[in-house]
Amino acid sequence: MTADSGPVDQPVGHPPGLPSALAETLRYGPFHRALHDAIAHRGLSLARLRAHLEQQGVQVGQSTLSYWQRGLRHPEVPRAIATVRALETVLRLPVDSLVTLVGNRPQPRLPRPAFTELANAWVQTVPLLAEFEAVPESARANADLEVLSVHDTVLIGVQREQRSITTRLVVRALRTGPDRYLAVHQGDEGSVIDNALVRPAEGCRQGRLRRQSASRGLAFELLFDRRLSEGEEHVFSFTVVDDTGGPTPGHHRTFREPCRGYLLQLACNRRTLPARCTKQFRVDTGATPVDVEELVCGLGGVVSAYFTDVGPGMAGIGVEWN
């Protein structure tokens, strides 16, 4: 999307070697198409582009570059201007050619959906979450929270099964009032979800919990000790124990809104290490993963993936076994 930066009175100059199609896109936009075409013209992968930017002293996530060139997100002004200028240098574009397309006005935030409106990412959650909507506080709980940071630690057993997931979140209240968080868990193939347990830790206690055997689904409330004030940040953590499934294919988390940082760690049994682990992102459940990166599982059995400015979409680690 192109921000409204006013009319352009003078065309931007272009080097002689710039293709006419790219020159035209740089002149009229939109930003994401111009960036995509410029990357294609240079013949750089996103990984190589990111490496070049780091040499310019600019740190930016590969997933962020992917969102920008696909139009899923737009650079934030003024924070991203230095990154956009570095892109112009690396991609050998005229000065201000991309900056002009970014514009001088940040995009307005769209209203956040209520929790059941998010169920499209996992169709089975619709009946599972229906009764939570009967309580207004539950219906809007997650819609009034901005997720700033998530850390998932997944423990994998000797039979390659997912044994537990410990999650720590940092959230911020977008308005005064939210006092809970609604969480959803889906067990791996073969999981007996009726045996799964939720163990709240700091910052929360368990509220209502509902299960759905057919989809191996679990939905539960995590209640805070008070209603948060607008702008207030809150840290809480919990563990889901679900150790009855078969060999795990890995772990993925769905983000409906961009999140500044997501750290995912798989702790494998050292007697049964995976043959391959990959960092993955996909825009929805059925989409082909993009931005796939090979990960190293160390001798201690821990493999980690860190995502910056992640979402909307699904981020995680895919696992292959011998």
**Treating both helix axes as pointing N-terminal to C-terminal, what angle do 20-28 and 31-42 enclose, rounded to 10 degrees?**
150
β-bridge partners, 241? 164, 197
**285 vs 307, residue with greater confidence:** 307
Per residue in 36-74, pLDDT (tens digit) is: 999 989 898 988 999 999 998 998 888 788 878 887 778
Residue 194 pLDDT class (50, 70, 90 cuts): very high
Q: What letter does residue 117 receive in the DSSP assignment?
A: G
Query: How big is the chain, counted in residues?
Result: 322
Which has more pLDDT, 104 or 284? 284
The full set of domains in the chain, from first to last, is: 20-102 (1.10.260), 115-320 (2.60.40)
**271 within 8 A of 306, measured Cβ to Cβ:** no
Q: Which of 63, 68, 110, 108 minimizes the C-alpha distance to 87?
A: 68
Mean pLDDT, residues 4-13: 33
- The answer to whether residue 133 scores a pLDDT higher than 70 is no
Q: What's the pLDDT at 5?
A: 30
What are φ and ψ of residue 171, in 5° steps? -125, 160
Nearest to 97 by CA among 40, 14, 36: 14
Question: How many angstroms separate the CA atoms of 155 and 33, rounded?
Answer: 41
